[in-house]
A and B are shown apart, each in its own frame.
Chain A
Amino acid sequence: MRVRKSSCSARNYPRANSENASAMIELAHVTKKFGAKMAVDDLSLHIEAGEVFAFLGPNGAGKTTTIKMMCGLLFPSAGTVRMAGFDMKSDSEKARRLISYVPDQPFLYEKLTGREVMQFIADMYGMEPAHGRQRIEDMIDTFGLREFVDDLTERYSHGMRQRTVFACALLHEPSVLIVDEPTVGLDPRSVRLLKDLLRLEAQRGATVFLSTHSLDIAQELADRIGVVASGRLISCGTLNTLRQQAAMDGSLEEVFLKLTEESRSESPTEPVTGPPLSAPETAL
């Protein structure tokens, strides 16, 4: 498997809403309730183009709910979600043209081959036929799908499915890539490939939003890290910022454990707002 840098084409790069495109992902005071339960509590985020943002938190912290609101699957109970400058409640179809979402339990049509699934995705995003075919071939090479891409996906192993799903997600060169638990079921070689790809996507200008429990991936890839607990953003910034907040100088794992432990014992009175990425903070 090898990463093909040539697969990123600026000509077909989808356009964000230029009037409001200061941030590719913008959550303003977002709250989400499930009945009486508060899943996300006054969450604000501001993520720029070309940034890799890691979203960390314990189980049930509200990560997947936040992601579902960013994809337009759920509407916030209060606050606004804007993706690539488009409001996800009133203008979500335009926004979804620029987004790719890889859920923790991805879906594939079992009675289609991997190639047919990719063809469906390419057509659904309105890609030109020739360009679509070229991109499918690129993705087959990039993710090493050649051996099984013409088999029905019902015969795929978990890792094969995961690679096919990523190929589908990157097919239309999204402006925003949202990934929930990306490395589940992938072998070490595929994990390495995925890390390289995510970094490349950010380099070509895409925003990568990564929800994960793999702290080493977050530490290696992310420009900024957001830590969420009980629906509230308890910390946001570079690893150094997080270390400062935790008042310790350890690994991300140690910092994360300290921050989430503290949040369990004391509920923050003021929500943390993720500041825009500034130049000195980019280095972890």
Chain B
Amino acid sequence: MSTTSNATIHQGMLFQWLRWRMLRNATRVVMNQSRLRVFTIFLCSAFIWGSLFAISLFGFRELRIRWDFPLDGSLMGLVFDVLFVSLSALLIFSTGIILYSSLFSSAETSFLLSLPVSPDQIFAYKFQGAIAFSSWAFVLLASPVLIAYGIRVNDGAPWYFYAVLPLFFFGFVLLPGSLGALICLLLVRFVPRNRKQILLLTVAVVAVLLGLWLARRLPSMRDLFASRDWVDQLLDEISLVRSPFVPAHWIADGLQAAAKREPSHMLFRLALIWANGLFLYVVTAWTASKLYRPAYNRIASGSSLAREFSDSWLSKWLGLFTYALSGVWVVHFPSGARVQYHPGTGEGRLDRAVNRLLFFLDAPTRLMIVKDFRTFRRDPAQWAQVVIFICLIVLYFSNVKWFYEQEIGKPFQNGISLLNLVATCFLMCAYTGRFVFPMLSLEGRKFWILGLLPLPRQTLLWGKFAFSAVGCLLVGEFLVLFSNLMLQTPMHIIAVQMATMVVVAVGLSGLSVGLGACIPNFRESDPSKIAVGFGGTLNLVAGLLMVILVVGLMAGPWHYFLMARAAAAIDPDYRALIEAGGFIAGMIVGLLATIVPLRAGARALVRMEF
């Protein structure tokens, strides 16, 4: 073996030593300082896992016994295909975004690049971390569902179904993970100058293409459910997902083969996943060995606030878009046209709009909100995820509308409306957990700047709370109104749902900002890692519980009594009492979820040393 190969293997082992040593030391520190924290993490994870397992077990039993649904049939295979395609898309995005932060903007990367380490080794080390961060939720969420499926399918799946589950998981995450990493490297290397715009353009193009595909497909699907062989038509319509070239189909088919006791077919699919996953990883690592250093150089060399665009129409469009988005950048065109906007103060049109919108707040709080807003919109890794979230939920609502128009959904109007409210609230919960909870931690070691400002420290908290509550209210109320108007829900139900959304948006904001101040993580600079840490997980579980309670109490009775049978079975006076009582109880829960964490957070902030 050559010296270079020896050195490469040596470096790879050294990085493994580094990772395990840091994990060991961190575990020791946590176990010595706070066993309660470790216990709570395990409890939260076990609670989420157990709840999902119980729901899945119940759901699969209902499907098989009550609905006579064949769990080993092709329709179940289709469900798995769609599930794994969705997970693939999420893994591609999340791995790419995490890897972008860890490869190009972390202090550790600069340190490693100054050592005699080959770039593909740094990439491999960072890739493993990104894959672990982006796929742990996948394992946590998918494993209880699939184990429940194994228990309920036929007379129970054979033992090797459970044995190969982790092998399928780990092989599968290599494919979307490597693809996300490859896209990240190519984007940064070849389109670094206008990368924010390119990223947005990519998201917009994907959304438009998806919309066009749906628009073209919908007419041909009009008679889908009217026909007797609708299952076959449905399979035809989404044949792309079931294509033998789609890796998501390999894992779906392989797991079904295991459940149906077809070990040879299962092993073929498993080998296919691992062979392709490892091949794609090797291709990505080889690409990293060629592109990583030049890509890092381009990122590090292009951090000027003033951007130049060529005279082409695309560049002009991008330039004007940049101007509209940030306001601060100076846009030059070679033809002489020049757009300049407050380069001295950094204040943009959007900032001034937000400032005006918050006229009722005092000046320091407004200042804090505008600062947070500016930081947020200048980070594409942050707002691109919000755009993806909203695109997905709007697409979901559009599909619901179509089902409703086909007379398929009308009997379920009431239920679908409530389901939409729950989906929107869960979206808000994910948003506040991912973006609002880490806000205070992200002040990091610069916290002393804010801490020394001549204003009460609580103002920092109120500013972040107001920023989050206003953002959640705007997006949440729009989504609730949009979905209900499409479903032609009665006006009083729309009013109840909008009031519920106010309580949920304010409650989630209070919870995330308050807990973010109580359990800050000033050592971590990557918000996605803060969100999946102990505090982030606790915040997510608390948020989900609050959403279930508030929606159940405030909107639940109204939707329940909208059903004719339920309404007929109860005295109108009692019905009004239950509706009003639930509404008030929900508001109290929301109020508590807002005030208690915020007060605790304010106290923690006042006591905080820095």
Instruction: Mark A residues whose CB is within 8 Å of B.
Output: 32-37, 68, 71-75, 77, 92-94, 96-97, 99, 101, 103, 105-107, 109-113, 116, 120-121, 123-126, 152, 154
**Residues B11 and A124 in contact, CB atoms below 8 Å apart:** yes
Separation of A35 and B306 alpha carbons in the complex (Å): 8
Shortest beta-carbon contacts, A-B, top 6:
A35-B304, A107-B111, A111-B22, A96-B116, A97-B116, A101-B114
**Residues B304 and A126 in contact, CB atoms below 8 Å apart:** no
B523 closest partner in A (C-beta): A110
- The answer to whether residues A126 and B303 also contact, given A73-B110, A101-B114, A107-B111 and a CB cut-off of 8 A, is no
Separation of A93 and B293 alpha carbons in the complex (Å): 11
Q: In the complex, what's the smallest C-beta–C-beta distance from A136 to chain B, in angstroms?
A: 15
**Residues A124 and B116 in contact, CB atoms below 8 Å apart:** yes
- The answer to whether residues A73 and B107 also contact, given A35-B307, A97-B116, A124-B14 and a CB cut-off of 8 A, is no
Q: Which residues of B contact A33 (CB under 8 A)?
A: 301
- The answer to whether residues A124 and B115 also contact, given A34-B302, A35-B302, A74-B300 and a CB cut-off of 8 A, is yes
SS class, residues of chain B in contact with chain A: helix
Q: Which residues of A contact B25 (CB under 8 A)?
A: 111-113, 152
B115 closest partner in A (C-beta): A124
Q: Of B7, B21, B300, which one neighbours A73 at CB under 8 angstroms?
A: B300
Q: In the complex, what's the smallest C-beta–C-beta distance from A279 to chain B, in angstroms?
A: 33
**Residues A36 and B297 in contact, CB atoms below 8 Å apart:** no
Q: What are 12 pairs between A and B in contact, CB < 8 Å?
A: A32-B301, A36-B304, A37-B304, A74-B297, A97-B116, A101-B114, A107-B108, A111-B22, A111-B25, A120-B14, A120-B17, A126-B10
A106 closest partner in B (C-beta): B111
A103 closest partner in B (C-beta): B110
Separation of A33 and B118 alpha carbons in the complex (Å): 26
- The answer to whether residues A36 and B308 also contact, given A73-B110, A126-B10 and a CB cut-off of 8 A, is yes
**Residues A107 and B21 in contact, CB atoms below 8 Å apart:** no
Q: Of A71, A75, A93, A111, which one neighbours B118 at CB under 8 angstroms?
A: A93
Q: In the complex, what's the smallest C-beta–C-beta distance from B322 to chain A, in angstroms?
A: 13
**Residues B114 and A96 in contact, CB atoms below 8 Å apart:** yes
Q: Is B296 an interface residue (CB 8 A)?
A: yes
Q: Which residues of B contact A34 (CB under 8 A)?
A: 301-304
Q: Is B117 an interface residue (CB 8 A)?
A: yes
**Residues B116 and A107 in contact, CB atoms below 8 Å apart:** no
Separation of A72 and B204 alpha carbons in the complex (Å): 36
- The answer to whether residues A72 and B14 also contact, given A109-B22, A154-B523 and a CB cut-off of 8 A, is no
Separation of A12 and B466 alpha carbons in the complex (Å): 61
Q: Which residues of A contact B306 (CB under 8 A)?
A: 35-37
B301 closest partner in A (C-beta): A34
Query: Apart from A34-B302, A36-B332, A93-B116, what are 8 other A-B pairs with CB-CB below 8 Å?
Result: A35-B308, A71-B113, A73-B110, A75-B294, A107-B107, A112-B18, A116-B21, A120-B18
Q: Which residues of A contact B187 (CB under 8 A)?
A: none
Q: In the complex, what's the smallest C-beta–C-beta distance from A167 to chain B, in angstroms?
A: 15
Separation of A32 and B7 alpha carbons in the complex (Å): 32
Separation of A111 and B107 alpha carbons in the complex (Å): 15
Q: Which residues of B contact A116 (CB under 8 A)?
A: 21
Most chain A beta-carbon contacts within 10 A, residue among B23, B113, B116, B332: B116
Q: Which range holds the interface residue count of chain B?
A: 35 or more
Q: Is B26 an interface residue (CB 8 A)?
A: yes
Q: Is B29 an interface residue (CB 8 A)?
A: yes
In B290-327, which residues have CB < 8 Å from any A CB? 293-294, 296-297, 300-304, 306-308
**Residues A109 and B18 in contact, CB atoms below 8 Å apart:** yes
Q: Which residues of B contact A126 (CB under 8 A)?
A: 7, 10
Q: In the complex, what's the smallest C-beta–C-beta distance from A230 to chain B, in angstroms?
A: 16
Instruction: Mark B residues whose CB is within 8 Å of A.
Output: 7, 10-11, 14, 17-18, 21-23, 25-26, 29, 107-108, 110-111, 113-118, 193, 293-294, 296-297, 300-304, 306-308, 332, 523
Separation of A107 and B112 alpha carbons in the complex (Å): 10
Q: Which residues of A contact B115 (CB under 8 A)?
A: 96, 121, 124-125
A97 closest partner in B (C-beta): B116
**Residues B107 and A105 in contact, CB atoms below 8 Å apart:** yes
**Residues B14 and A123 in contact, CB atoms below 8 Å apart:** yes
**Residues B116 and A125 in contact, CB atoms below 8 Å apart:** yes
Q: Of B26, B114, B303, which one neighbours A111 at CB under 8 angstroms?
A: B26
Separation of A122 and B302 alpha carbons in the complex (Å): 34
Q: Which residues of B contact A121 (CB under 8 A)?
A: 115
Q: Which residues of A contact B117 (CB under 8 A)?
A: 124
Separation of A248 and B307 alpha carbons in the complex (Å): 43
Q: In the complex, what's the smallest C-beta–C-beta distance from A72 to chain B, in angstroms?
A: 7
- The answer to whether residues A112 and B21 also contact, given A35-B306, A124-B11 and a CB cut-off of 8 A, is yes
Q: In the complex, what's the smallest C-beta–C-beta distance from B65 to chain A, in angstroms?
A: 51
Separation of A34 and B302 alpha carbons in the complex (Å): 5
Separation of A74 and B300 alpha carbons in the complex (Å): 7
- The answer to whether residues A72 and B114 also contact, given A36-B308, A116-B21, A123-B14 and a CB cut-off of 8 A, is yes
Q: In the complex, what's the smallest C-beta–C-beta distance from B466 to chain A, in angstroms?
A: 33
B108 closest partner in A (C-beta): A107
**Residues A71 and B22 in contact, CB atoms below 8 Å apart:** no
Q: Which residues of A contact B26 (CB under 8 A)?
A: 111
Q: In the complex, what's the smallest C-beta–C-beta distance from A202 to chain B, in angstroms?
A: 21
Separation of A103 and B118 alpha carbons in the complex (Å): 20
Q: Which residues of B contact A111 (CB under 8 A)?
A: 21-23, 25-26, 29
Separation of A126 and B193 alpha carbons in the complex (Å): 38
Q: Which residues of B contact A124 (CB under 8 A)?
A: 11, 14, 115-117
B22 closest partner in A (C-beta): A111
B29 closest partner in A (C-beta): A152
Separation of A226 and B21 alpha carbons in the complex (Å): 43
Separation of A107 and B21 alpha carbons in the complex (Å): 17
Q: Which residues of A contact B304 (CB under 8 A)?
A: 34-37
Most chain B beta-carbon contacts within 10 A, residue among A34, A106, A112, A124: A124
B117 closest partner in A (C-beta): A124
Q: Which residues of A contact B300 (CB under 8 A)?
A: 68, 73-74
B296 closest partner in A (C-beta): A73
Q: In the complex, what's the smallest C-beta–C-beta distance from A144 to chain B, in angstroms?
A: 23
Q: Which residues of A contact B108 (CB under 8 A)?
A: 107, 109
A32 closest partner in B (C-beta): B301
**Residues A73 and B29 in contact, CB atoms below 8 Å apart:** no
A101 closest partner in B (C-beta): B114
Q: Which residues of B contact A110 (CB under 8 A)?
A: 523
Q: Which residues of A contact B10 (CB under 8 A)?
A: 123, 126
B24 closest partner in A (C-beta): A111
Separation of A125 and B7 alpha carbons in the complex (Å): 10
Q: Which residues of A contact B23 (CB under 8 A)?
A: 111
Q: Which residues of B contact A120 (CB under 8 A)?
A: 14, 17-18
Q: Which residues of B contact A94 (CB under 8 A)?
A: 116
Separation of A150 and B243 alpha carbons in the complex (Å): 56
Separation of A93 and B308 alpha carbons in the complex (Å): 33
Q: In the complex, what's the smallest C-beta–C-beta distance from B521 to chain A, in angstroms?
A: 12
**Residues A71 and B114 in contact, CB atoms below 8 Å apart:** yes
B14 closest partner in A (C-beta): A123
Q: Which residues of A contact B294 (CB under 8 A)?
A: 75
Separation of A99 and B114 alpha carbons in the complex (Å): 8
A39 closest partner in B (C-beta): B301
Q: Of A72, A101, A112, which one neighbours B22 at CB under 8 angstroms?
A: A112
Q: In the complex, what's the smallest C-beta–C-beta distance from A73 to chain B, in angstroms?
A: 6
Q: Which residues of B contact A112 (CB under 8 A)?
A: 18, 21-22, 25
Q: In the complex, what's the smallest C-beta–C-beta distance from A147 to chain B, in angstroms?
A: 19
Q: Which residues of A contact B14 (CB under 8 A)?
A: 120, 123-124
Separation of A111 and B26 alpha carbons in the complex (Å): 6
Separation of A182 and B396 alpha carbons in the complex (Å): 57
